Structure 1
Amino acid sequence: MWEELGFRDNPYSPKPILANEEGSELLVGRDVELRKLMTYIRSSDTHPTLEGPNGVGKTSLVSVAGYKLLKEFEDGKPGAYIPLSSPFQLTSEDTLQSFKQRVLYAVAQQFIASRGLLKEKGYSVPDGDEIDQWLNFPLFHLTGGGASVAGFGGNATRSTAPNSSAGFSESGFVSTVMKWLKECFPSRAAGGFICVIDNLELLETSRGARELLEAIRDELLNISGLRWVLCGARGIVRSSASSPRLQGVLAEPIDVKPINDVSAEKALLKRIEVYSMGEANPPVEAAGFGHIYRIGNRNLRNALKYCEDFSMWAYLEGNLIEDSQDKMKLIEAWMAETADRYEQDTKGVGRRAWRVFDDLVTQNGTASPSEYEQFGYRTQQAMRPQLKLLEDARLIESAIDESDNRRRTIVVTSRGWIVNYKRSGFEIS
């Protein structure tokens, strides 16, 4: 479909921007936050943190920052700041041991990928065969026809399990990688691998997971050669992650707010330019994207998702047109029809629940149930039935703390913002 429209790929993809030159081009409207994050990674003795609404672009910002720092090192700037290939997430299923193993395994893999560059720049790097031994030989390959070691012997379908021999013990692997890091990055100025913990708001649902974050302080956050970036929504860094044990380890969060309307339209134009193969016919142009962006309370990821949905609909229904004004009218009609359809699914929401919803919208779509008095209730418990009705209609979502089963944060969903568009008479605030 995209090739028929003149694009080499989907220009409305809601996936995070990749850590490459193209991703650097696509990151529009984030110059201030990008400079601040790169400066903290290079120069601070605390680890930088990011806070912002889900879908605002935190993951993309971190990816581009890591890519730019790596390019600066390749171009001769002091300090080897090298991002790991993928971010980490902490959940209640993690233990300190399992998370540490995941991190150090990823670090060992990155040593392989970056060994040539580090050696060229005069860094002390481990022997390639030694890294390969730790990453590959500590596995038995279990097969239906018997066991094999390092791929030799046996047949049939294989799975893996840790080698229990003393030479490949867990403590041996950990101490070896720690030794590599210390020798390669003897000081903060020397740099380090950039490790990202994303979606930190997952910690809000489990006391055990929050305790895990504190536990990794000494085990991982203070390791020489690792520079951490923590990302989360809903004030999670300022609350759960800002315990006394983490003060002085984590920096004050960088607020990542929605980019302004002009930058949002520029970001869409840049995507069309980068993905175009020449004469392209984008189903959603800058003005249409701005319209969708504002309806959804300026959530970049959701706006791109609805642009993709509209493009699919227009292609399958044969509604691809060339004129920009006609495109805008078609987008407005499609969004209005979508809003009508979503509102039809809210029949169970009563007058009192709608009043809570409307008040929540006036607070930019986010609040804590502890603010119940602002919604006209005497107790938090009295407001709960209305929140439940709104949740069932998928107009809001709540973060629930498993330790006490209380809602900690309530936010309007993308569907909720579109229903609000209908309830507002198809006008955008």
Structure 2
Amino acid sequence: MPSKMWESLGFRENPYNTKPLNISKQDVELLMGRENEQIDFLTAIESEEQGIFVLSGVPGVGKTSFLNVQQFLLESGEADFGPRLLAARQLCPIQQYDEPKFIAQRCIQSFCKSIEEYCNITNKSVPSETSKVSAWIHQNKPATINFGLSYLGTGVTAGREVHLPSVQSTTFETLAEIIETLSLEVKNKLNFEGSFIVLDNIENLQDDELSQCLTTFRDTLFTIPNIWWILIGQSGLSSLIQSTNPKVFQRLSAGIELKPISVENLIKAVDIRVKTFHETKNNGSSLITKKVYLKLFESSNGEIRFVFKYCQNICIKLVQLIRKELVEKNQKMTVESFNRLMGQHLIKNQIDDDFSHTCLNVIVREEFEGYYHSTEEKQILKRIGELGKVNSKDFKEFSEFGIKTMQDFTQNVLIKFREQQLLLRRQEGKKITYELRGISVFAMEYGLLNE
């Protein structure tokens, strides 16, 4: 739906939308700088009928966008090579303290939803057992499902009929059989070669929980025919699995650690979004200058989502300012009056850099002050910034702030600031480092850590 705010700035839609790219044809060309990774991914998926693929990278690097584009290409048959697989239109989110059985239940919910959405988009009937499973998993009432259905020619050979108790009372082994039944229907009823199931944010589990989950899945869910399991997590996920569960690591089919795209590809990404969403198609330009959005890119360690978020926020600040000025001057909010005032802030159809930096200062200050950090906490963040990177063993560097143990430093500083998205966590095997991230980089630059 068109946005009046973006229309007032010359765009049909928000060119700085921070949401992941969709599983759709129109979003394929918006993915920039991932040609090599695309070949690696599609080749790995083509190599086996089922498997486990690890997709990792720092927050905001574009993992979900990358995966969604690949899913569209494979599902639609538009990929240069690779099998036709049903896309996971609903990811299975992993939450802290999740047990394997709860995750399996959520996988069923996500799988059913993906099948139903595909059928809705293509005007196909939802397969019969999928409909039964979907009703069972959502209503939490006993149901009867046919396991092991096979389709030969025009006939149907039934497996065994199973009476399912409530969701909570169903065993893990039965949940695995349900997923296999859904997989069979996707293949035989919807004519796909297989399906994707995606476990998202798997690093939310503690190391021992992750190891337990993967061990449980190793010889059960991960062996279901025609299912490609995609494990999405933060940087270093493959090496974490290798160090915590070598047997599962040996089962991994492949993996990609997505690195930030290059500056050149960021510029292309902005340009293609402007071209796609500007009202004039080919004659528009980014409202935010290259100098400003490259500064955002550098400060965020290459987080595309961070860049687009603050480009969007600067544009919102501009519109707010103009509308407030019109109210103060008792002028009607017409297109003409809005454009006249907007012109005072634009240089060659782009927002003046000084105005952009002033907006950033205000935005960062507002967000940072919302954490209500104490003076000591700000000083700790500043020290981390001065050191560049820290790990748990660096706790002695912070003794003047009353930090006496490694555990205290890890739990009450590093993990806390990371959860507030002020620190970036990098992992290689069991080695973990932290550094300032995004807004905290700007907070240090703007002197907010000195206040």
Q: Which TM class, normalised by the smaller chain length? A: 0.7 to 0.9
Query: In the alignment, which of 418, 422, 426 is matched to residue 442 of structure 2?
Result: 418
Q: Aligned AA for 1:268?
A: V
Separation in structure 2 between the aligned mates of residue 40 and residue 57 of structure 1, nearest angstrom: 19
Tell me, yes or no, if structure 1 residue 88 matches structure 2 residue 92: yes
Extract unaligned runs of 5+ from structure 2.
145-161, 323-340, 426-430
Separation in structure 1 between the aligned mates of residue 114 and residue 374 of structure 2, nearest angstrom: 53
SS at match of 1:317: helix
Residue of structure 1 in register with 2:131 after alignment:
132
Q: Per-residue deviation at 1:53? A: 0.8
Tell me, yes or no, if structure 1 residue 160 matches structure 2 residue 139: yes
Residue of structure 1 in register with 2:264 after alignment:
262
Matches within 5 A, 1:22-421: 22-44=26-48, 46-72=51-77, 79-111=83-115, 128-136=127-135, 138=136, 160-163=139-142, 167-169=163-165, 175=177, 177-179=179-181, 181=183, 191-204=193-206, 207-240=208-241, 242=243, 243-251=245-253, 253-278=255-280, 282-318=286-322, 320=342, 321-324=345-348, 327-338=352-363, 348-349=375-376, 353=380, 356-360=383-387, 362-363=388-389, 367-370=390-393, 381=405, 384=408, 388=412, 396-397=422-423, 410-421=434-445
Q: Per-residue deviation at 1:55? A: 0.8
Task: Output the TM-score relative to the length of structure 1.
Answer: 0.73
Separation in structure 2 between the aligned mates of residue 268 and residue 236 of structure 1, nearest angstrom: 29
Q: Which stretch of structure 1 is more off in the superposition, 324-333 or 60-69?
A: 324-333
Separation in structure 1 between the aligned mates of residue 126 and residue 33 of structure 2, nearest angstrom: 42
- Over the aligned positions, Cα root-mean-square deviation in angstroms equals 4.2
SS at match of 1:48: strand
CA 1:235 to 1:371, structure 2 compared with 1: closer, same or farther past 3 Å?
A: farther
Separation in structure 1 between the aligned mates of residue 79 and residue 61 of structure 2, nearest angstrom: 31
SS at match of 2:197: strand
Task: Output the TM-score relative to the length of structure 2.
Answer: 0.70
CA 1:372 to 1:285, structure 2 compared with 1: closer, same or farther past 3 Å?
A: same
Q: Is the 8 A contact 2:382 2:444 kept in 1?
A: no
Q: Aligned AA for 2:198?
A: V
Q: Per-residue deviation at 1:346? A: 6.3
Separation in structure 1 between the aligned mates of residue 195 and residue 263 of structure 2, nearest angstrom: 35
Q: Is the 8 A contact 2:297 2:303 kept in 1?
A: yes
Residue of structure 2 in register with 1:18 after alignment:
22
Which whole-Å deviations, capped at 9, do the CAs of 1:308-350 have from their partners, x for residues lacking one?
Answer: 1111111000173332465223213333455566787766148
Q: Is the 8 A contact 1:14 1:305 kept in 2?
A: yes
Q: Per-residue deviation at 1:100? A: 2.1
Q: Which stretch of structure 1 is more off in the superposition, 213-222 or 76-85?
A: 76-85
Query: % of aligned pairs identical?
Result: 19
Question: How many pairs does the alignment contain?
Answer: 381
Separation in structure 2 between the aligned mates of residue 98 and residue 179 of structure 1, nearest angstrom: 19
CA 1:160 to 1:130, structure 2 compared with 1: closer, same or farther past 3 Å?
A: closer
Which whole-Å deviations, capped at 9, do the CAs of 1:10-67 have from their partners, x for residues lacking one?
Answer: 2212111111122211111121222212221221575221221111111111111111
Q: Aligned AA for 2:18?
A: P
Q: Aligned AA for 1:331?
A: S
SS at match of 2:251: coil
CA 1:336 to 1:40, structure 2 compared with 1: closer, same or farther past 3 Å?
A: same
Extract unaligned runs of 5+ from structure 1.
121-125, 140-158, 400-406, 425-429
Q: Is the 8 A contact 2:274 2:285 kept in 1?
A: no
Separation in structure 1 between the aligned mates of residue 417 and residue 126 of structure 2, nearest angstrom: 57
Q: Is the 8 A contact 1:84 1:106 kept in 2?
A: yes
Q: Is the 8 A contact 1:203 1:210 kept in 2?
A: no
Separation in structure 2 between the aligned mates of residue 256 and residue 70 of structure 1, nearest angstrom: 22
SS at match of 2:214: helix
SS at match of 2:439: helix
